[in-house]
């Protein structure tokens, strides 16, 4: 834009000078050949080729090389803005981690021993079958390992963004989600709350399952750190950038992943609509923030950041 603004004034001025040169030499010498060669000399010497061509060419080469590596820039301004970023904020699931979680722990609530682990997983998997969240796929895979694996789709389904899901399976009301979802439902966690804290300390995401208004069990879901995440974060920090993690996961889980990857600042238990506010907070003091996210729920933060870096399904927006 700067080159275009300058060229918009500079080029007409240079052409005007060239015309004056032709007229001046014709008046002074009457030599048409000398007059036109002098005008051409003015055009060649004054032409801002380096300014006019260097930036577009460098953007073209840089974006072309990036495209070969699977990185697409929507505009040259995005490329320019990325170079000015001071803070890189990253989502956790599917960004720092692989986004391919697996159920590692199944803990039954006291008084629910009559319900087998396979039945708890079957109900949870059936309820999650209409969800697009990566954790839903993990629960379905875990349920498939039992003979009584998922057999019915829910007759009703409702997603509660940032909390969990609610569905009706075989006539039973099933609610699956985070601890704050259980709190919203008025269900005390009891001993399962302690178990959840222990799972979170081991970088497991605690997922609670309630059946017919009664807390029935807890699932621990692990999502391994993506290959290259640690090196990428080290590279960013070596360039003097601050790296922050913004996630809806539990504080303990997020801290465990941050400790493993070297992330210096953690904003955990952030609801989807709160991610954009978290980005605004990081922008305080005039700092430029690049946000990296992989999902549709990251759209507000991707749009609110100075530069949005979308991965996976995040590219849809």
Catalytic residue among 91, 223, 249, 294: 91
316 is catalytic: no
- The residues with which 164 forms a beta bridge, in sequence order, are 160, 177
- What is the C-alpha R_g of the chain? 29
- Cα 301 from Cα 186, distance rounded (Å): 30
Confirm if 308 and 111 have CB atoms less than 8 A apart: no
Alpha-carbon gap, residue 49 to 239, rounded angstroms: 32
E-only strand ranges, the chain: 87-90, 102-108, 156-160, 164-169, 172-177, 204-211, 214-222, 242-246, 265-267, 289-293, 307-310
User: 211 and 172 in contact (C-beta within 8 Å)?
Assistant: yes
The position carrying tokens 């700092």 is 287
Q: Which residues are catalytic?
A: 91
């Amino acid at each position: 834009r700067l080159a275009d603004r300058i060229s918009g004034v500079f080029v007409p001025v240079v052409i005007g000078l060239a015309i004056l040169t032709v007229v001046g030499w014709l008046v002074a010498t009457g030599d048409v050949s000398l007059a036109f060669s002098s005008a051409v000399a003015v055009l060649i010497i004054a032409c801002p080729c380096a300014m006019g061509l260097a930036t577009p060419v460098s953007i073209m080469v840089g974006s072309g090389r990036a495209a070969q590596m699977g990185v697409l820039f929507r505009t040259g301004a995005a490329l320019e803005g990325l170079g000015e970023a001071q803070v890189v904020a990253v989502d956790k699931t599917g960004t720092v981690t692989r986004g391919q979680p697996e159920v590692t722990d199944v803990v039954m609530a006291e008084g629910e021993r009559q319900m087998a682990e396979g039945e708890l997983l079957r109900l949870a998997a059936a309820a999650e079958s209409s969800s697009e969240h990566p954790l839903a796929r993990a629960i379905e895979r875990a349920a498939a390992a039992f003979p009584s694996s998922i057999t019915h789709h829910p007759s009703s389904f409702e997603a509660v963004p940032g909390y969990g899901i609610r569905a009706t399976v075989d006539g039973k009301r099933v609610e699956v989600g985070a601890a704050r979802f259980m709190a919203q439902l008025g269900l005390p966690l009891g001993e399962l709350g302690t178990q959840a804290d222990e799972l979170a300390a081991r970088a497991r995401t605690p997922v609670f399952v309630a059946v017919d208004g009664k807390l029935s069990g807890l699932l621990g879901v692990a999502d391994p750190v993506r290959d290259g995440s640690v090196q990428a974060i080290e590279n960013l920090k070596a360039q003097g950038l601050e790296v922050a993690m913004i996630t809806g996961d539990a504080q303990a889980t997020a801290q465990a992943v941050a400790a493993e990857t070297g992330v210096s600042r953690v904003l955990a238990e952030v609801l989807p609509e709160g991610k954009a506010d978290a980005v605004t907070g990081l922008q305080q003091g005039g700092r430029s923030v690049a946000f990296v996210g992989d999902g549709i729920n990251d759209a507000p933060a991707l749009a609110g950041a100075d530069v949005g870096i979308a991965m996976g399904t995040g590219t849809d927006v």
